[in-house]
Structure 1
Amino acid sequence: MDIVFKGEHLLPGQLGQFFIVLAFGAALFSLICYYFSAQEDVAKSDNSWLRLGRIGYWLNTVAILGMGVCLFYILYHNYFEYHYAWSYTSRELPVYYIVSGFWNGQEGGFLLWYFWTAVLGNILIWKAKSWESPVMVTMALTQVVLGTMVLGLQIGSAHIGSSPFLLLRNAMEAPIFKNPNYLDFIKDGKGMNPSLQNYWMIIHPPTLFLGLASLVVPFAYATAGLWKRRYKEWVAPAIPYALFGCMILGTGVIMGAFWAYESLNFGGFWAWDPVENASIFPWLVLVAAVHVLIVFKNTGHSYFTATLLTLLSFVLVWYSSFLSRSGILGESSVHAFTDIGLFWQLVIGIIVFLAITIYLLISRWKELPITKKDEDTYSREFWMFVGAVFLGLSCLQLILVTSVPVWNAMFGTKLAPPTDPVKQYNIIQASFAVVIALLSGFTQFLKYKQTDIRRFFITTLVYLVFAALITALVVYATGVYKLNFVFNLVMLCAIYSVVANGKVLADAIKGKFKLAGSAVGHIGFGLLLVGALISAGTKRVISENLTGEQYSAEFAKDENPKENILLYKNEPIKMGEYMVTFRSDTIEGAQHLFNIDYQRIQNGKVTEGFTLRPNVIQAQGGMSSSPDTKHYLFHDMYTHITMTNVITTEPQGEEASHGEEGDDKKYDAPVTHEIAVGDTMTYRDGIIILKGLNKNAKLQNIPLTDKDIAVGAQLEVISHGKTYQSEPVYMIKGRSVFDFGKKVEDAGLKLRFTKIIPGKTLADGKVEITVYQQPESKKKFIVMKAIEFPYINFLWAGTIIMVIGFFMSILRRNKELKPEPVKVAAQPRVKVQKKK
């Protein structure tokens, strides 16, 4: 007997699943129609296949939008009967995090990729002109493959895709689902990982997925050119799209680096994590492809290399997705998704586009426009080709090492990853960076096909000497000279690139504006290298622990005790040129923030003060910490918590103490003081002054009559240079006596007004104040690490400048595109008879 479940909202899910099937079917229909439209004989006869192909793609786009609306509706209304909503959202999440919850899971990520490909396809329908049919065949094929990822069909024991509209009761087995009212017991969702509750989660994934999706466009032009034997024509229209892919994907990767720097606690912006590495595979290859495409466009050289790199860049998008989403990196990366049953579908995705690449290149090999004449050694195209090769080799090294788990799975081996991967990657990739930065500099002084050799050497030497002088000053001032020799070479070549391209930019301003885009992009790349080298190579841990405290053996496994200092609450500690104090901790939503005061003291005077608020999350697997950073123009002060005994912050409210111990056991034995107004009491960490008595004290939710008495003791607590106000209350109501204590958490105190000792008047008498103080062993503490990153703003500024350079180059290449001639059908001649 089927169970009739109550309270479920099935319509949005059913509608969403309908849109998934519709999107897949429409993409398949569009693929078939565009394929027939691209055939020579069909294309010349009529445009019916073309129109049907467009209708199919438009329908696919509408269906994807429908899927998105249905999923957001489910997330926004907290319909936890759906597995996706239950897994990634909760009722307490604000709307902007519910939006980011849309792509928090794998299904949402594929849907985002699906959406951007649909947008790009519609742009091509509008702009591609004569290329529309063959290019859109690849776009529609991509939508078919992506559609299978979210299809959510089950054929026998096989699953095709994972649907975001899967019901919770169908996703897992549990006794609760035998109850028709199971939703009454599901009060909330699992929520979002606290480390993802960051504004970068809202903007980084959409940017990154747009970048990944955009690489299909140059791939589509390349396949169309090979397929239709229009070998040279596809290059010019593909270059702007390739530049766009470089710009957006590069921006998305750097956004991820900034997110890591701002929100993760590994102490930097790049950790060479396998998923991080995978994100730059396609970017490196596409940057190389763009340079070789420009070489071919200007000289006719390097056609095969340009085509191969363009095709491989999109194949690597699929390989990167496989690495991060198949579960293959589960043990080697903290960022990788677990497998949700898409392992072999992702493998098939790689095979489909790799097979197209191999087939077209082999089948058209004899027809490719490959020049037999070698490039001149002193020509720009030769060295741009060399630069592209080194970019490819850089990517190859990353792929080989990152893919160790793949090789083990394929060949049954037990290869181990590098014992110190960061050091290995840094040295090897820095060696590639030396060549690439050097080439991005001196190639600007070369010309296509032929160069005045004498003038080239003089110009190159002058700017190289100038760059060497600047480099000497920079490495000495920043301490880079203490690093490995390879890093000093990178610094020289990066500065040389900035200087050389600065000269080109100056020429561009004088009138050669078409050179400005590449010059700006190369300047940005050079500054990015300079900032990365200085900030990562000379970062300085300023939280030096000179006490010998090891904290614990478990702590020492992950952290160096010598680089972490212990702070007890409200007890200032000298740290470098700062005096730091752990003041308090507060809970704001899902965040547990620790307020750490910094004071820079010079000649006995406080010259600067600020508060950093790192975040700590207590999870089942231990503690997760997010840093906070003080940004300066020329350096950053980065702080994060590595250990604490603070789990939650207790409320600082009224506590009735009539005949009950309450939580008094948490404190040392109480001390009573009989004092008058103006008197001072001392305690271990400061003093307490009775400033006055409030005869009209009010108590929340306790109404008082004229016969009742409520008096508040107005106390001022001074501890470690901080002043706090507190007012415990003594009350007589009817024939009963009560006192309501007040906690001063930041001072580790609880204060009770326990007796009135009358005089002639209330003001003349004395009162009894009972003071409870937290024991030394239970004092709140944190262990923190503070790192100074010098000149890191060069990295972020270089990124922005490089993106601007890409954008300028896109504008230039778009202007170079010649409009395709409009074919006008010939009109039949009409003979005009002359009148006789």
Structure 2
Amino acid sequence: MIHTTVGQLGHFLVILSFVTALVATVAYFLSAIGRRSAVNSVSVEEPQLAYAGESGKASFGGKTAKRKAPAAQAEPEPKDDWRTLARWAFYLHGAAVAGVVATLFYIVYNHYFEYHYAWSHSSRALPVQYMISCFWEGQEGSFLLWLFWNASLGAVLIRTSGKQWEAPLMTVFALVQAFLASMILGVVFGETFKLGSSPFLLLKEAMPDAPIFTADPTFVPKDGNGLNPLLQNYWMVIHPPTLFLGFALTLVPFAYCIAGLWRNQPLEWIRPALPWTLFGAMILGIGIMMGGYWAYETLNFGGYWNWDPVENAVYVPWLVMVGALHTMLIAKRSSTGLKTAVILTIATFLLILYSTFLTRSGILGNASVHSFTDLGLSGQLLVYLLAFVVLAVALAARKWKTIPSDEQEASVYTKEFWLFIGATVLCLAAFQVIATTSIPVYNKILEAFGKVSNLALPADQIAHYNKFQIWFFVAIALLTGVGQYMWWRKVEYKKWDALVTPGILTLLVSAGLIAFGSIKNPIYMALLVASVFALITNGSILLGIIRGNYRLSGGAIAHIGVALMLIGILYSAGFSKVISLNNSGLLISKQEEFTKNDNKENKENTLLWLNQPERMGPYQLTYRGQRIEVRDVPGYVPRKDITVIEGDFHGIAQRDIEQNGKVYHKKGDTLALYPENVYYEVEYREPNGKIFTLYPRAQANERMGLLASPDIRHKADRDMYTFVSSVPDPNAEDQWEKTETYSVAIKDTFFLNDYVAILDDVVRTTEVAGMEIGPNDAAVRARVRVLDKNGEHVLSPAFIIKNRLVAHPAEVSDELGVRIQLNEIDPRTGKFTFAVNRTQRDYIVMKAYEKPLINVLWIGTLIVMLGFLIATFRRYREFVRMREKSVA
């Protein structure tokens, strides 16, 4: 059955959201024009004043003047029908967007695979949390998520922004929503022009030339392609919505800024925009670090940041947003800060649009592992970007003269100067990253003009970016300390005595860390000294603040977090140590990824055979076998205990499934399994005898090959990071070699798969797994002892006569790669004939790192976000108080 009604409803709601966004844009625009013409022209004079504090006074040209209240404020508020229409249109738009979200998730959740989006991104095997991830895996779903957050923020701003800001602010908001809604319209004009890509496209509409639809137009696939295996992670349930909320929050200060310029109030927008900027920087930062932690837990490059172009495209707007935040803080006293705040606030949002173009237009090609393929929307994305570039730049240029200018430059002894320098360094760091990341864009531009470009991204991107970024953050760390001392007037005019004590403490602490930590790289020394200086100076500032009003501590706390993050990055990246060294002299693999760079990977990976202990640094390692996940059983279950039903995500229990003394399933039960993942149990024995176990996983995926993900043991001072580099194909059938036969007597020696084997004895038995031995049956069991370098293994194949039929069940040893059967017994000669097959022994090739002090990075991240949160509440309370005063 094809469920077309729900898709038609969804498509109607998409169109409704687009139309209502346009209506809201026009109505708010007309409301803004009408309100502006009704307001006394005194508002035009006000931009010439730079806010000097909360005293109700303002300064211009270094002089002080009292601010006159606009005469229009005393008049009763006129009825505004356009604003009423705009509000209802935007609320209806938000309801339509929510309806689209609900409709698309309904399709995914109910496995309506006749829809291309559901078939492409989901499958019946996925648990509910990963169905949520399916929702935003595709481009259409991620645009819809962005739409949803913008609509939610718009509804909040309608209620909180105030009547003077609502119309111009929401004009910008509604216009952005119209552009975003157009991305999922999926309307085709003629044969060539397409506006958006609909998530409600039927499979037969997306693939009209597929032969199956010619034969059966009503064909519906039984299952979908499923979610990208790397996205089957709990962080992918919460990371994308957090990141897109951060994207949406960059629109708020941008809209306030545009509204302020439009209203000839280039200063007044700062106060209402400031708490939103703080909150947006916090959320976007959390989203970025969530992505870093996802990469650390899921990918196997051994870190949390790879300077991938898509990572860079999000990192750059965040840096600029933090720079904008600092210039907004000094805009009250310096026109230089005000002008820079306008530029950086606009640039933050435009960089978000640019990053969207980079990641979704297909322009990055193979330069990024994260980028989407082009859905034919690259032209539409470019129009989206250019429209707001032109709008914002043209408005800023036109209103530039209304922004006040200082008569003299800020002195080096003022806090405004140091905040401005800090913002400048942040922007320079951002420029270095985006300039390199945009190389594919430069090439495309040159190609459009018929030129051939030889520009290419750096071969070693990590080394390239680190070479520059480390010095930027040395400067930033130093500036956070000096800037905070300036901000809190610890440094008096031309007297720097207050910095002597923290400077001496910094040198003493850093010298100790360098000496005991064996830091020899001068660049690492510089970063460590700067980070310790930032920690000590901001720590001393914080101690002074919390004795007074803790609400003022946001900046100091955030800067302490930054210092801790830098220390964590320095040690976890600069002193990460591979401990899985191959000291056997064996060449583990001849594959290119193992042999390049002077056999680096062969030297840094260790080979583990099943149940055979190997020494790795201070640890003794033992690979204990393959494990899988059963949906209703905690932990992992031995793979050999379950026969997997291929393509069904179910299995049959071959024995009772028991965990922690509780039997969850009986032998023969059908079990629901999680898809694709196979875990490899690796037992670590520490020098003190303690044992811990890690379960790195590998996913055999038809589309992407073998995907390995690490398992991590977290300790207070370091992480043990383990992943498998190579494994036998977990989905391949055992390839048994040609049968060999051995006829031996008791105590004879023979060879099994290059091992020495001894037939110790053959004895009667009454117990054979899977078979009942009656009083009239006969059964014997051989005891074959196999010797290897680590000890011995005992194999016990049986020979059974039951109901005059002969059975000889095989015994399989994964450790030895042997299958042995007792086929014949000759009582005349006393010889026993064994049939033996050999196969590849079970093994893994494993790599392991120790990452010192990585927890300092994660702790520092949380502290930064706490500082942002405290500052957000403070600035919001300040805005509310000022709004209440103006109303009174």
For the aligned pair, the TM-score class normalised by the smaller chain equals: 0.7 to 0.9
Determine helix, strand or coil for the equivalent of 2:330: helix
Query: 1:511-568 CA deviation, whole Å, 9 max, x = no partner?
Result: 1424311111000011001100111011111122231626215232486322222223
Q: 2:807 matched to which residue of 1? A: 738
Counterparts of 1:383-398 in structure 2, within 5 Å, are 383-398=418-433
Residue 713 of structure 2 aligns with an amino acid whose one-letter code is K
Q: Is 1:569 matched up with 2:631?
A: no
Q: 1:617 matched to which residue of 2? A: 700
Aligned with 1:427 (options 460, 467, 480): 467
Q: 1:159 matched to which residue of 2? A: 194
Determine helix, strand or coil for the equivalent of 2:404: coil
Find the aligned partners of 1:691 and 1:649 in 2 and give their Cα distance. Answer: 34
Q: Is 1:350 matched up with 2:385?
A: yes
CA pair 681-610 structure 1, distance change in 2 beyond 3 A = farther
Aligned with 1:508 (options 545, 552, 567): 545
Determine helix, strand or coil for the equivalent of 1:415: coil
Residue 196 of structure 1 aligns with an amino acid whose one-letter code is L
Cα drift, residue 215 of structure 1: 0.4
Counterparts of 1:238-637 in structure 2, within 5 Å, are 238-297=273-332, 301-412=336-447, 413-447=453-487, 452-453=492-493, 457-479=496-518, 481-483=519-521, 485-546=522-583, 547=585, 549=587, 551-555=589-593, 556-557=595-596, 560-588=601-629, 589-601=675-687, 606-619=689-702, 622-637=705-720
Q: 2:19 matched to which residue of 1? A: 25
Question: CA-atom RMSD, angstroms?
Answer: 3.1
Counterparts of 1:817-832 in structure 2, within 5 Å, are 817=879, 818-821=881-884
Residue 224 of structure 2 aligns with an amino acid whose one-letter code is G
Find the aligned partners of 2:605 and 2:679 in 1 and give their Cα distance. Answer: 19
For the Cα contact (< 8 Å) 2:749–2:756, is it kept in 1? no
For the Cα contact (< 8 Å) 1:638–1:786, is it kept in 2? yes
Aligned with 1:83 (options 116, 129, 132): 116
Find the aligned partners of 2:92 and 2:352 in 1 and give their Cα distance. Answer: 26
Bigger drift between 210-219 and 38-47 goes to: 38-47
Q: 1:783 matched to which residue of 2? A: 845
Q: 1:695 matched to which residue of 2? A: 766
Query: 1:246-295 CA deviation, whole Å, 9 max, x = no partner?
Result: 00000010111111111111111111111111111110000000011011
CA pair 823-415 structure 1, distance change in 2 beyond 3 A = closer
Find the aligned partners of 2:614 and 2:143 in 1 and give their Cα distance. Answer: 50
Q: Is 1:198 matched up with 2:233?
A: yes
Aligned with 2:721 (options 615, 628, 638): 638
Residue 532 of structure 1 aligns with an amino acid whose one-letter code is I
Bigger drift between 318-327 and 565-574 goes to: 565-574
CA pair 202-823 structure 1, distance change in 2 beyond 3 A = closer
For the Cα contact (< 8 Å) 2:491–2:497, is it kept in 1? no
Cα drift, residue 782 of structure 1: 2.6
CA pair 705-302 structure 1, distance change in 2 beyond 3 A = closer
CA pair 673-254 structure 1, distance change in 2 beyond 3 A = farther
Residue 551 of structure 1 aligns with an amino acid whose one-letter code is S
Residue 432 of structure 1 aligns with an amino acid whose one-letter code is F
Find the aligned partners of 2:751 and 2:740 in 1 and give their Cα distance. Answer: 15
Residue 189 of structure 2 aligns with an amino acid whose one-letter code is I
Cα drift, residue 78 of structure 1: 1.3
Cα drift, residue 145 of structure 1: 0.6
Q: 2:210 matched to which residue of 1? A: 174
Query: 1:366-393 CA deviation, whole Å, 9 max, x = no partner?
Result: 1112322321211111010011011111
Find the aligned partners of 2:687 and 2:751 in 1 and give their Cα distance. Answer: 28
Determine helix, strand or coil for the equivalent of 1:446: helix
For the Cα contact (< 8 Å) 2:808–2:823, is it kept in 1? yes
Find the aligned partners of 2:141 and 2:263 in 1 and give their Cα distance. Answer: 36
Find the aligned partners of 1:681 and 1:428 in 2 and give their Cα distance. Answer: 65
Find the aligned partners of 2:500 and 2:596 in 1 and give their Cα distance. Answer: 50
Q: 1:656 matched to which residue of 2? A: none
Cα drift, residue 785 of structure 1: 1.7
Cα drift, residue 494 of structure 1: 1.1
For the Cα contact (< 8 Å) 2:745–2:759, is it kept in 1? no
Residue 182 of structure 2 aligns with an amino acid whose one-letter code is T
Q: TM-score scaled by structure 1?
A: 0.88
Aligned with 1:71 (options 99, 104, 115): 104
Q: Is 1:126 matched up with 2:159?
A: yes
Counterparts of 1:34-73 in structure 2, within 5 Å, are 34-39=28-33, 40=35, 41=37, 45-73=78-106
Cα drift, residue 669 of structure 1: 2.7
For the Cα contact (< 8 Å) 2:528–2:567, is it kept in 1? yes
Find the aligned partners of 1:181 and 1:738 in 2 and give their Cα distance. Answer: 53
Residue 554 of structure 1 aligns with an amino acid whose one-letter code is E
For the Cα contact (< 8 Å) 2:334–2:406, is it kept in 1? no
Q: 1:139 matched to which residue of 2? A: 173
Cα drift, residue 694 of structure 1: 5.6
For the Cα contact (< 8 Å) 1:591–1:615, is it kept in 2? yes
Q: 1:666 matched to which residue of 2? A: 737
Query: 1:696-738 CA deviation, whole Å, 9 max, x = no partner?
Result: 65748xxx79787485859898988799998866554544222
Residue 127 of structure 2 aligns with an amino acid whose one-letter code is P
For the Cα contact (< 8 Å) 1:84–1:164, is it kept in 2? yes
Counterparts of 1:653-732 in structure 2, within 5 Å, are 665-666=736-737, 669-671=740-742, 684=755, 695=766, 699=770, 709=777, 713=781, 730-732=799-801
Cα drift, residue 756 of structure 1: 7.8
Determine helix, strand or coil for the equivalent of 2:301: coil
Determine helix, strand or coil for the equivalent of 2:374: coil
CA pair 733-234 structure 1, distance change in 2 beyond 3 A = same
Find the aligned partners of 2:842 and 2:756 in 1 and give their Cα distance. Answer: 14
CA pair 36-672 structure 1, distance change in 2 beyond 3 A = farther
CA pair 583-362 structure 1, distance change in 2 beyond 3 A = same
Cα drift, residue 106 of structure 1: 0.7
Query: 1:629-685 CA deviation, whole Å, 9 max, x = no partner?
Result: 22111111112222233443769xxxxxxxxxxx7x437735567779xx9999638
Residue 91 of structure 1 aligns with an amino acid whose one-letter code is R
For the Cα contact (< 8 Å) 1:714–1:725, is it kept in 2? no
Find the aligned partners of 1:784 and 1:712 in 2 and give their Cα distance. Answer: 41
For the Cα contact (< 8 Å) 2:696–2:724, is it kept in 1? no
For the Cα contact (< 8 Å) 2:741–2:833, is it kept in 1? no
Determine helix, strand or coil for the equivalent of 1:820: helix
Q: Is 1:750 matched up with 2:744?
A: no
CA pair 735-545 structure 1, distance change in 2 beyond 3 A = closer
Unpaired segments of 5 or more residues in structure 2? 40-76, 448-452, 630-674
Identity %: 38
Find the aligned partners of 1:688 and 1:51 in 2 and give their Cα distance. Answer: 93
Residue 475 of structure 1 aligns with an amino acid whose one-letter code is I
Unpaired segments of 5 or more residues in structure 1? 1-6, 652-662, 760-765, 826-836
